[in-house]
Amino acid sequence: MKKDIRSLTLPELREAVLAYGEKPFRANQVYEWLHKKCVPGMDQMTNVPKYLKERMGQDFHVGSTQVVTRQESKDGTHKLLIRLQDGSLIETVSMPYRDWTTACISSQVGCAQGCAFCASAVGGFRRSLTSGEMLEQVYQLNREGCGPISHVVVMGSGEPLNNYDNLVKWIRMITDKDGLNLSVRSITVSTSGIVPRIYELSHEGLPINLAISLHAPFNEKRIEIMPIARKYSIDQLIEACKYFFRQTGRRITIEYSLIKGFNDGADDARALSGLLRGFQSHVNLIPMNPVRESRFRESEIRVINRFRDILEKNRINVTIRREMGRDIDSACGQLRWHYMEGIHD
Ligand code: SAH
């Protein structure tokens, strides 16, 4: 089976090129075309000899992702539906802010976490993405004129820490000076809380932003909406976050989606404040976005503001996230893959 050439680091590409009896500088040329100029295929690699392209074409696929549809929201958010080599479909979003554009990429096709309020869980899990497929989402946004992308959040479908090796490799490649050269600090990884992987990530020497999907301050309540909470308690999770902060010096973001009548009470806000007291973190309140299959609804503005006020009174850093792209189903928890396949395959 052909391999994904975009998943090769420069040293790995060099090894492949040397095996063809080529000089190492050819690897640098190809790498630059792939990761700096982000060309969609080999045709554009004008300074690479034809025979080498043919040889590489036998072992690797290059033009392996296609943009199937592109939607634009009123607020300037774009959503791409991308078809991968094996026919799987994923969604990628770009969000323009005043001074930069952030990409929101997927780490898996579907998701196995089964969170009760999230559309990515609806179709179940198919497979993890390669590092190259994660890179391609950013490259495709740039090619489509939705960039230039300078920040990336891994908050699309999938649980990034369950695709750990490819995720870490992707971070190293997208921040590589021979590639897009993004700043490590401009990368955010969001996780439902895979505790052992948080410890592992603490030791990678990568000062990224880590965001934790907490959504409830009590274990019993969290278990009701997030199956992963059965495996790791909130205390274990917060302990791992503190460790990550000590190792990297990076403040943790706590994501809290407010669900009407479920986790938006004054008692929840007080318990959350208690949990985070004295811990360098920042709470991001996300009004729950509507998902057809979910029985949960979003909290009222008045309730959201009250929740924020209680946190502030307890001197917890908090902001209410400005949701983007709702009108094209590209806000948090609205990305999905399963139903589209019937339409496009
Ligand atoms: N699996 C990772 C990545 C998903 S990130 C994680 O769980 O963190 C997307 C964020 O949006 C997560 O915090 C997720 O819990 C949240 N989310 C999911 N569905 C949502 C919805 N319908 N409304 C608001 N936020 C939602």
Domains and CATH numbers, the chain: 3-61 (1.10.150.530), 67-341 (3.20.20.70)
Which of 105, 113, 134, 213 most suits a substitution to test ligand 1, by most atoms within 8 Å of the C-beta? 213
How many angstroms does the Cα of residue 69 sit away from the middle of ligand 1?
Answer: 23
Q: Whose CA is nearest to atom 10 of ligand 1?
A: 332
| CA of 111, closest atom in ligand 1 | 1
How many angstroms does the Cα of residue 85 sit away from the middle of ligand 1?
Answer: 26
Q: Whose CA is nearest to atom 18 of ligand 1?
A: 333
How many angstroms does the Cα of residue 315 sit away from the middle of ligand 1?
Answer: 25
Q: Whose CA is nearest to atom 20 of ligand 1?
A: 333
**So what's the pLDDT on residue 26?**
97
Q: Whose CA is nearest to atom 7 of ligand 1?
A: 192
**So what's the pLDDT on residue 344?**
37
Q: What residue ranges line ligand 1, CB within 6 angstroms?
A: 113, 115, 117-118, 155, 159, 190-192, 213, 255, 257, 286, 288-289, 291, 332-333
Model's pTM, two decimal places?
0.94
Render each residue's pLDDT in the chain as its tens digit; 345 residues: 889 999 999 999 999 999 999 999 999 999 999 999 999 999 999 999 999 999 999 999 887 799 999 999 998 999 999 999 999 999 999 999 999 999 999 999 999 999 998 888 777 899 999 999 999 999 999 999 998 999 999 999 999 999 999 999 999 999 999 999 999 999 999 999 999 999 999 999 999 999 999 999 999 999 999 999 999 999 999 999 999 999 999 999 999 999 999 999 999 999 999 999 989 899 999 988 888 778 899 999 999 999 999 999 999 999 998 777 777 777 677 766 544 444 333
What is the four-CA torsion angle of 169, 172, 177, 183, rounded to 10 degrees? 140
| CA of 332, closest atom in ligand 1 | 11
Which of 286, 320, 337 most suits a substitution to test ligand 1, by most atoms within 8 Å of the C-beta? 286
How many angstroms does the Cα of residue 333 sit away from the middle of ligand 1?
Answer: 5
Marked catalytic residue, from 22, 91, 133, 298: 91
Q: Whose CA is nearest to atom 26 of ligand 1?
A: 333
- Mark whether 312 is an active-site residue: no
Q: Whose CA is nearest to atom 12 of ligand 1?
A: 213
Question: Which pairs with CB-CB distance under 8 Å and at least 24 residues apart come from 56-63?
Answer: 56/5, 56/16, 56/20, 56/30, 58/2, 59/2, 59/3, 59/16, 60/2, 60/3, 60/4, 60/5, 61/2, 61/3, 61/4, 61/5, 61/85, 62/5, 62/6, 62/34
- Mark whether 146 is an active-site residue: no
**So what's the pLDDT on residue 158?**
96
**So what's the pLDDT on residue 343?**
38
